[in-house]
């Protein structure tokens, strides 16, 4: 699941939707903030989301078996 944040729904997306996705077993949840550009991923481990680490602008999706690079 990918969420693009907007000023009017950001708090809802970051809290409520994240909790809903977690409860329903969504395997990965990605949050993209366009201004300033940032990307944060979460992977479901057992029944709770854990942050996917980002190193040097790169992050690994185990679900998609791919390394992504996010640079502004």
Q: Where are the chain's structural domains?
A: 2-69
Burial 50-67 (b: 16+ CB within 10 A, else e): eebebeeeebbeeeeeee
> What would the pLDDT profile of 41-54 be if each residue is shown by its tens digit?
999 999 999 998 88
Predicted structure pTM score = 0.80
Q: Report how far residue 52's alpha carbon sits from residue 68's, in angstroms, rounded to the nearest whole number.
A: 12
Q: Report how far residue 65's alpha carbon sits from residue 52's, in angstroms, rounded to the nearest whole number.
A: 13
Phi-psi region of 25 (alpha: psi -120 to 50; beta: other; left: phi over 0): left
For tokens 């690079």, name the residue: 69
Mean pLDDT of 61-67: 83
């Amino acid at each position: 699941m990918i969420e693009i944040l907007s000023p009017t729904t950001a708090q809802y997306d970051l809290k409520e939707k994240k909790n809903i996705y977690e409860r329903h077993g969504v395997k990965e949840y990605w949050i993209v903030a366009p201004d300033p550009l940032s990307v944060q991923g979460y992977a479901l481990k057992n029944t709770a989301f854990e942050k996917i680490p980002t190193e040097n602008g790169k992050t690994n999706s185990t679900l998609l078996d791919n390394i992504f690079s996010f640079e502004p």
